[in-house]
């Protein structure tokens, strides 16, 4: 272990890591394929358990398209979401910062009295930088970073938005949340028919086909709602799973079906890239916003706990990256990286300059098979939540193999050595030197994040306001 002087020096930096796939049309696609900026497809799924891909150990489900995607490039075995829930991780992906440093320590929701974040208007988002170097930028799917201007996708750098503004969908077919219709095409409210996964898949395919006729590179951010609750797969997919898996429970069968249906959609999007001749020059990144929700049957493999928890099952996620001719098929990395690292990685791949402070660090050298020393940095996770959490934040911090974790606000901090105790079963004593080191680093991060407001405006608890 390095001495504390080195450790403190590393903390003073406090700079805050991701995954990718692609394959091989139109004449426009062929014209730009050689030596030009890559297209970028960023796939973010919602609440996928670490053990809920067949390539990550699942025995009762089949995810051939996602497995092929990951096998076509680099698989990450130590990749982490920036939070154990939705909005904060999305904020980190699009800003390259810790979520509490851009005003999103918790979930952004419809009702102000239960809303725990407001995206900082000063934050620079990924599509803004990509547009400067010639990209057309689009989001198809779940936004979850604001319900009204100035925090809607078209306000924050996206040229095209076709998807869902809100958080969870109360019904995958009706597309409502608390009675509000949050489906949009640009700024127009729409009311399409069909399962949300099928809609996002088809809209992505439509976008890819349109862009294949242009020489302009594109960035397509595809955040699916699935497999987030409600666990509502098409009925024929459930029947197929039950026919194949004879001993599966009804609860698990529904989740497996929702994941397999999602995988089928991902396969169709990847097929569209190939059919349009774009796949040979497209970087595709796949990851999840947090771990799986245990109460609906998710499997986080050997990891402790799940969604909402700061133990490994809540924040460690399956991730893969592929880029034909750039990333070696079948390669693997055990590098520790976070969602926020995808921001500088994508910028590096696109040739976009970052001239402001971020916390993420590029992993492009790792993806390209080049030497890249392990990062010497402290890492932090935060979630602020209402309900049983009382509006209080809880945290985790990591340096090297050591992790300090508070799983809910009312539990004590625990220190683990993840190398020796990956299942987080044996907390180390509080007098361990790394306890105070991580505690001090976390305290200083909290001080720094305290300068960034996360509330939209004061709340009248007696008369809660909606958006």
Confidence of residue 261 (pLDDT cuts 50, 70, 90): very high
Residues 115-127: pLDDT tens digits? 999 999 999 999 9
- For residue 265, how far is the Cα from the chain centroid? 18
Looking at every residue in the chain, the average pLDDT score rounds to 92
| Catalytically annotated residue among 86, 118, 175, 261 | 86
75 against 461, higher pLDDT: 75
Q: Return the pLDDT at 464.
A: 47
Residues 9-54: pLDDT tens digits? 443 343 333 333 333 344 445 544 545 899 999 999 999 999 999 9
Which residues touch 28 (CB under 8 Å, ≥6 apart)?
212, 213, 214, 215
Q: Return the pLDDT at 14.
A: 36
Domain at 16-375, CATH from 3.20.20.150, 3.20.20.140, 3.40.50.620, 3.40.720.10 = 3.40.720.10
pTM of the model: 0.92
Task: Give domain limits for the chain.
Answer: 16-375, 379-449
Percent of the chain with pLDDT strictly greater than 70: 90
Residues 387-440: pLDDT tens digits? 999 999 999 999 999 999 999 999 999 999 999 999 999 999 999 999 999 999
Residue 347 appears among annotated catalytic residues: no
Closest of 162, 184, 164, 323 to residue 228, by C-alpha: 164
| Pair 52, 352: CB distance under 8 Å | no
Lookup result for tokens 């929700």: 293
Strands 176-177 and 319-322: unpaired
Residues 174-214: pLDDT tens digits? 999 999 999 999 999 999 999 999 999 999 999 999 999 99
Q: Return the pLDDT at 17.
A: 32
Q: What is the DSSP string of 119-185?
A: --TTPPPHHHHHHHTT-EEEEEEE--S-SSTTSSGGGGT-SEEEEE-SSS-S-TTT-EETTEE-EEE
Radius of gyration of the chain, Cα coordinates, nearest whole angstrom: 21
Residues 43-90: pLDDT tens digits? 999 999 999 999 999 999 999 999 999 999 999 999 999 999 999 999
Helix (H) or strand (E) holding 354: none
Residue 466 β-bridge partners = 111
| Catalytically annotated residue among 83, 136, 144, 175 | 144
Confidence of residue 463 (pLDDT cuts 50, 70, 90): low
Examine the pLDDT at 466 and tell me if it is beyond 60: no
Q: Return the pLDDT at 35.
A: 54
- For residue 291, how far is the Cα from the chain centroid? 10
Residue 178 appears among annotated catalytic residues: no
- For residue 316, how far is the Cα from the chain centroid? 11
Residues 279-311: pLDDT tens digits? 999 999 999 999 999 999 999 999 999 999 999
Average pLDDT over residues 352-369: 98
SS3 282: strand
423 half-sphere exposure, CB direction, 13 A CA radius: 3
Q: Give the CATH fold of the 379-449 domain.
A: Arylsulfatase, C-terminal domain (3.30.1120)
């Amino acid at each position: 272990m390095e001495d504390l002087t080195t450790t403190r020096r590393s903390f003073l930096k406090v700079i805050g890591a991701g995954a990718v796939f692609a394959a091989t049309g139109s004449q426009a696609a062929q014209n730009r394929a050689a030596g030009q900026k890559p297209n970028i497809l960023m796939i973010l799924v919602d609440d996928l358990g670490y053990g809920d891909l067949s390539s990550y150990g699942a025995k009762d489900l089949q995810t051939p398209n996602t497995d092929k995607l990951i096998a076509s490039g680099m698989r990450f075995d130590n990749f982490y979401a920036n939070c154990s829930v939705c909005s904060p991780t999305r904020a980190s992906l699009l800003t390259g910062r810790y979520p509490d440093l851009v005003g999103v320590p918790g979930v952004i929701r419809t009702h102000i009295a239960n809303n725990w974040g407001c995206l900082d208007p000063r934050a620079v988002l990924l599509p803004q930088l990509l547009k400067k170097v010639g990209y057309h930028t689009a989001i198809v799917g779940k936004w979850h970073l604001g319900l009204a201007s100035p925090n809607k996708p078209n306000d924050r750098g996206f040229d095209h938005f076709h998807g869902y503004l809100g958080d969870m969908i109360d019904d995958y077919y009706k597309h409502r949340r608390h009675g509000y219709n949050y489906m949009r095409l640009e700024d127009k409210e729409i009311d399409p028919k069909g399962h949300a996964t099928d809609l996002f898949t088809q809209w992505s395919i439509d976008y890819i086909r349109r862009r294949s006729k242009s020489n302009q590179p594109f960035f397509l951010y595809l955040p699916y709602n699935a497999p987030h609750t409600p666990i509502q797969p098409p009925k024929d997919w459930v029947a197929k799973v039950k026919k194949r898996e004879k001993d599966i429970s009804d609860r698990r069968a529904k989740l497996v079906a929702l994941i397999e249906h999602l995988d089928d959609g991902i396969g169709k999007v990847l097929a569209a890239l190939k059919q349009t001749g774009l796949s040979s020059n497209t970087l595709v990144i796949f990851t999840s916003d947090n771990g799986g929700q245990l109460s609906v049957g998710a499997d986080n493999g050997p990891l402790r706990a799940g969604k909402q928890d700061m133990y490994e099952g809540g924040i460690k996620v399956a991730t893969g990256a592929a880029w034909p001719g750039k990333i070696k098929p079948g390669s693997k990395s055990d590098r520790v990286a976070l969602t926020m690292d995808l921001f500088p990685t994508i910028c590096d791949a696109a040739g976009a300059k970052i001239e402001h402070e971020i916390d993420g660090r590029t992993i492009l050298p790792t993806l390209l098979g080049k030497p890249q020393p392990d990062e010497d940095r402290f890492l932090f996770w935060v979630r602020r939540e209402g309900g049983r959490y009382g509006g209080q934040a809880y945290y985790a911090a990591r340096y090297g193999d050591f992790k300090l974790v508070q799983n809910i606000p009312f539990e004590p901090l625990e220190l683990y050595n993840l190398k020796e105790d990956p299942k987080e079963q044996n907390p180390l004593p509080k007098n361990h030197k790394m306890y105070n080191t991580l505690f001090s680093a976390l305290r200083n991060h909290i001080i720094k994040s305290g300068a960034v407001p996360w509330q939209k405006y004061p709340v009248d608890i007696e008369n809660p306001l909606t958006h």
